[in-house]
Copies of this chain bind each other. A is one copy, B any other.
Amino acid sequence: MLAEFSIVPLGVGSSIGDQLAEVLKIVDSSGLPYKINPMGTVVEGEWDEVMKLVKKCHKAVMKNGERVLTDISIDDRKGMPSRIDQKVKSVERRIGKTLKK
């Protein structure tokens, strides 16, 4: 399945780049396929491995904070592996044009 998640600490000021850097280090070393975008991180894997990763990231930010908001959006489709690359390509094929990424 595909999952996009974002983690926001409250009570640490309006800049949260340090916490996001910590999250992305964890994601990058997880071994799961991922893609970062300006609003979140998309990962691909089975339910348990994705949720284990999101929990690890959430707990890491929670450790040094008082309150953390985490959003997770899941798109789970039977018999469809490697969708982290294929979904955008499929739309580009339909349009006949390369889109900005």
Bound together, the chains give a CA A59 to CA B1 distance in angstroms of 12
Q: Chain B contacts of A99 at CB under 8 A?
A: 24, 28, 36
Copies in the complex: 4
A10, B4: Cβ atoms closer than 8 Å:
no
Within 8 A of B (CB), among A58-101: 58-59, 62, 65-78, 83-85, 87-88, 90-91, 94-95, 97, 99-101
**Is A31's CB within 8 Å of the partner chain B?**
no
Q: Which of B37, B51, B65 contacts A101, CB < 8 Å? A: B37
Q: How many residues of A contact B (CB 8 A)?
A: 59
Q: Which residues of chain A have a CB within 8 Å of any CB of chain B?
A: 2, 4, 6, 8, 10-11, 13-18, 20-21, 24-25, 28, 33-40, 42, 47, 51, 55, 58-59, 62, 65-78, 83-85, 87-88, 90-91, 94-95, 97, 99-101
Q: Which of B11, B33, B58 contacts A74, CB < 8 Å? A: B58
Closest to A39 in B: B4
